[in-house]
Amino acid sequence: MIKDLAYPFDPHLILRTKKSIRRKLLEGNTFLDKRVAILGGSTTGEVKDLIELFLLDGGIRPAFYESDYNRYYEDALFPSEELIRFAPEIVYIHTTTSNLAFRHGLDDAEPVIEQNLQEEFSRYKEIWDHLTSRFSCAVVQNNFELPDYRILGNLDSYELHGKTRFINELNRLFSEHARTSRNLYLHDINYLSAWLGLERWYDKQFWYAYKYAMGYAAIPYLAHSVAAVMLAIYGRSRKCLVLDLDNTLWGGVIGDDGLTGIEIGKETPAAEAYSGFQQYVKDLKSRGVLLAVNSKNDEVIAREGFSHPDSVLALSDFSAFQANWQPKHENIREIALSLNVGIDSLVFADDNPLERDIVERYAPEVGVPVLGDNVCKYVEVLDKCLLFEPAALSSDDLQRSLFYAQDSGRKQQQSRFDSYDDFLQSLGMVAEIRRFAPEYLERITQLTNKTNQFNLTTKRYTYAEIKAVAERGTQIAIYGRLEDRFGDNGLVSAMIGAVKGDELHLELWLMSCRVLKRGMEHAMMNSLADEARSAGVKSLIGYYYPTSKNGMVSDLFDDLGFENMARNEQGESVWRCALATYRALTHHIEVKQ
């Protein structure tokens, strides 16, 4: 994270130094390259520049197509040759209340107003449908901010002819449609403008002079929020919140003040604020964010804090617990290792600026928000950093903490066996391996964008692209779910192969880190081979593209008996396996087809 781009923002500093920030971000980083089209209903130059900064900070290097002023509708329905050649992977529709047509008057009857509302919604739905049909892209669409004035005063929010009511109804239609359309992602400027304050949001002088729909100081907040949605689409949101304890989760120092001396509960304003922060953290956990402790403390004393009768959080809420006197950046690396996640998926929250600075210096991949020392601001800072922005909410997200708790049970079970094979056999594993199914497409999309270690090609997909794969007859695409006696691991693996003549080219193969070294890769390859034979395929062609994170699978095809066909200086390799000589790989998993 670049400090200049950390919340709370200094909008004028960001806009003034954006070129130097961009140069710094581009130095020596590895990026995911994506094509982003911005179709604007108002001027978008500064918006585009700052979206780029926030995407770069999150690990995506965008190439942009930018529509001419107020040409969003025409570009969507009648794309230019330039846009067609550009082939966007994400399209951002930057429209605001200034683009709405309030065609009804105060004397119009309800049917006229309702028709106006439906026509406005249909116009946008037409845009979304054309874009996703033409480009199989993700579409990010602003909803609408409230008007800057109200002719009807307070009546405006509920009287039939009110602009405020019209906007609220249109936002409701957008919301209902987005819930069932997996290619559409709403960007909530209705909330953003309300949080910033409409007085700060609107700047009529800026509008009349330059046709920017929001004030100069609001642009960084808008760009940050839009970028967070795009980063979430490609799995660049963080997975785990690592928390300090003393003066972060409770007031005081438990080692000095004792259990009864720490501030938590309802007795004082500060105690209530710490309880509020704990509740926010617990809510994050309930929607799939993993929690961990990183405290300079005696572990027994640190754990005692959660036995306080007013503690909202319990020890069982944490998937990792590091309380010792080691440097916190070293503990953070231990936490990432114990959870088997990348260190760049962690966020570290600590009230101590020195500890934050040390982690930023020695573990720069970690997100380190400027939490400050005012507990009343902790929720605001973490919430507005948008580091845990979700693109969707799956059942696997809601059960993530349970998955890690079950994995702890497996590790304890493993220690009871002399042989690893005996341990695997004891798990009673059952896999469901089948062709892509509609109910799993969202989870498969999520896996393609979040899985880095066991990922042979690290190709990323949008939901629209995964849906197209599932429907396309020229590809073989299978998923794998895995259960054992400790519980359901959920959907953990996916493979996509393109049939070209009598060859199946493996474009994607990934597996969740939760089930590494359990034989699931053997079960998946056996099932793919069976599917390929049924399709008349004679050879499997595999690809490995090295990254900084997927070295663990560099020799996978060799281990599976594939023959190396080519390898370049970058370490990229191509492998072949003739199905006539392929023999099913052994494993300890019962496979349900």
pTM, rounded to two decimals: 0.84
- The backbone torsions φ and ψ at residue 246, rounded to the nearest 5 degrees and listed phi first, read -65, 125
Question: For residue 390, is the peptide bond before it cis, meaning its omega torsion is within 30 degrees of 0?
Answer: no
Q: What pLDDT, in 10s, does the model give residues 255-308?
A: 999 999 999 999 999 999 999 999 999 999 999 999 999 999 999 999 999 999
* pLDDT for the residue numbered 28: 67
Question: CA 65, CA 82: separation in Å to the nearest integer?
Answer: 8
Low-confidence ranges of the chain (pLDDT < 70): 28, 394-418
Q: Please classify residue 113 by burial: count the beta carbons closer than 10 Å to its beta carbon, then call 0-12 exposed, 13-18 middle and 19+ buried.
A: buried
Q: Is 122 helix (H, G, I), strand (E, B) or coil?
A: helix
Q: Choose among 98, 99, 178, 167: nearest CA to 132.
A: 178
Instruction: Count the helix, strand and coil residues of the chain and give each as a percent rounded to the nearest 5.
Output: 45, 20, 35
Using an 8 Å Cβ cutoff, are 507 and 459 in contact?
yes
Rounded to the nearest angstrom, the gap between the alpha carbon of residue 255 and the centroid of all alpha carbons in its chain is 37
Q: What is the DSSP string of 17-41?
A: SHHHHHHHHHSS---EEEEEEEEES
d(CA 215, CA 231): 24
The pLDDT > 70 percentage for the chain reads: 96
Q: SS3 letters for 329-361? A: HHHHHHHHHHHCCCHHHEEEECCCHHHHHHHHH
> Domain 417-592: which CATH class?
alpha beta
Say whether 59 sits in a helix, a strand or coil: coil
Contacts of 466 (CB under 8 A, 6+ apart): 436, 441, 444, 445, 448
CA distance 79 to 347: 41
User: Could you report the per-residue pLDDT of 493-504, keeping only the tens digit for each?
Assistant: 999 999 999 999
Which pair of structure tokens corresponds to residue 120? 């406005």
CATH architecture type of domain 3-233: 3-Layer(aba) Sandwich (3.40)
Looking at residue 64, what is its pLDDT? 98
Per-residue model confidence (pLDDT) at position 121: 97
> What is the identity of the amino acid at 484?
D
Q: Are 239 and 404 in contact (CB under 8 A)?
A: no
- Check: CB of residue 444 under 8 Å from CB of residue 491: yes
DSSP string, 154-167: GGGGTSTT-HHHHH
Q: Is it true that 3-233 and 417-592 share their CATH fold?
A: no
pLDDT of the residue at 397: 59
Q: What residues have CB less than 8 Å from 176, skipping those under 6 apart? A: none
What are the residue boundaries of the structural domains of the chain, listed by start?
A: 3-233, 240-385, 417-592
> Is the alpha carbon torsion for 5, 10, 11, 13 positive or negative?
negative
For residues 52 and 458, give the distance between their C-alpha atoms in angstroms, rounded to a whole number. Answer: 22
- The pLDDT, as a whole number, for residue 392 is 83
User: Can you tell me which residue has the tokens 């509708």?
Assistant: 73
Token digits of residue 456: 């042979």
* DSSP-derived secondary structure for 232-279: HHTT-S--EEEE--BTTTBBS-HHHH-GGGSB-SSSSHHHHHHHHHHH
**How far, in Å, CA of 56 to CA of 280, rounded?**
28
Which strand (E) or helix (H) includes residue 75?
helix 72-77
CATH of domain 240-385: 3.40.50.1000
